[in-house]
Structures are given as structure tokens and as C-alpha cells.
Amino acid sequence: MPIWTYIFLMARAATTSDAFNAVAEPQRRRILVLLKGRERPVNELARALRITQPRTSKHLRVLREVGLVRVREAGQQRLYGLDARGLQPVHEWVIGFEQYWNENFDRLNEYVKRLQQKEHADGKRR
């Protein structure tokens, strides 16, 4: 089977591994919150979240891969610390909508929008 077939078949999903994705998982969000202020070892996080240690390690791995946490060896333990810089893009994207969630969708507003839409639709009609 030629390589391009393989590539073609592979070209499906590719959701993985950016800050947006890392943060989509509730447990991972909780981990990040727990890491505010100070580093913590894996077991402590697992206990705090009431989840198993392997699961915790896997979430930490994802967070590590997208650069939201960093690890530091400390004897037997691995101390995970927050590196929030990766959250900045998320913030920047979301803040771009601030004016819209404050918007009051009153009738006039809607009316104007519909007019605009109508114009647009007519204009584009081919």
C-alpha cells in the first residue's frame, strides 16, 4: 500500500494537544487550580481529586505535553508546578467575545441584524 494511501486514511481527526484541548477535561482543570500557588507531587493531586494515581499521571502527561505544567525531580517525588503562560492564548481568544456576552439581545438589535442579513443574502444571490 503506497504511502499516500496511508496519509489519506490518516487525515481524519486531529483534536489532540493544545491548551484548549487540555483544558476541556474537568479533572485537568482541577489539577491546574490545585497547582496555583505551589507545586505538588502526583499522589497529593490524586488524593485531592479522589482519582487513581495512574489516571492522575496521565492527565499530568497531557498537561506537560502542552506545556501547562512543568516537572521537577525531588528525590522520590516529582513535583508538578503550574506554567500558566499557555493559558494566555485561550484567554485572548475568549476575551474577543467579551462585548458579545454583555450584549442585550433586544428587539432593535435583532431587527438591525436581520436587515443586515437580508441585504447580505440579496447581495450574494447568484
Summarize as ranges the residues that interact with DNA (CB under 7 A): 9-10, 12-17, 21, 24-25, 27, 41-44, 51-62, 71, 73, 75-79
**122/94 Cα distance (integer angstroms):** 32
Q: Which does 101 bind (CB under 5 to 8 A by kind): DNA, a second copy, none?
A: a second copy
Q: Is 61 in contact with 69 (CB distance < 8 Å)?
A: no
Q: Is 50 in contact with 61 (CB distance < 8 Å)?
A: no
Residue of 71, 26, 66, 68 whose CA lies nearest to 49: 26
The distance of closest approach from Cβ of residue 111 to DNA in the complex, given in angstroms and rounded to an integer, is 19
**55/52 Cα distance (integer angstroms):** 5
In this chain, which of 21, 53, 54, 55 binds a second copy, going by CB under 8 A? 21
- Interface residues with a second copy (CB under 8 A) are 15, 20-21, 23-25, 29, 32-33, 36, 38-41, 44, 74, 77, 79, 81-88, 90-91, 93-98, 100-101, 103, 105, 113-114, 116-117, 120-121, 124
